[in-house]
Amino acid sequence: MKLLLLITLSTAITLTSTLAIAQPNFQYPQPNRQGDYTSIFSKLQDGTKSLHYVWKVVSSELNCRAQAGGNYPVVRTLSKGDNIDIVGKPKIYRDKQGKTWLYVAKEGSAEDVKIRCFVRANTQFIKPIPYSIY
């Protein structure tokens, strides 16, 4: 029993150390007090910034609209767990109320990439996630 506990503990320490090394050393885009993302840049340890293109839907359903604003038609509905990519001119868009939006396409098939729309850039709906650069 002690040997099993020792092996488990040793494995956990090794795995934790490996994960700490494997994680990139940067800060994801940060929301303001209202939960709105006002920047799409990640900050690297040396202070330089890098565009952050890949985000994940965190709400159960997210309306993706024809333009930046809640009054525009819904082009598609995204589901919790869907990954989305910033497309077009990567920037934060603001509607008439000053709310922040991103122009995105759902990751996936070629058909999904053709459907581009705007989502609210707020922690209630999306979050930045790690991604690989090919």
Residue-wise pLDDT for 1-51, tens only, equals 444 333 333 333 333 333 333 445 778 999 999 999 999 999 888 888 989
Which one, of 44, 53, 20, 31, lies nearest residue 134 by Cα? 53
Q: Strand ranges (DSSP E) for 34-82?
A: 41-44, 49-51, 54-57, 61-65, 74-79
Q: What confidence score (pLDDT) does residue 98 get? A: 96
Residues in the chain: 134
Quote the pTM value.
0.76
Q: What confidence score (pLDDT) does residue 114 get? A: 74
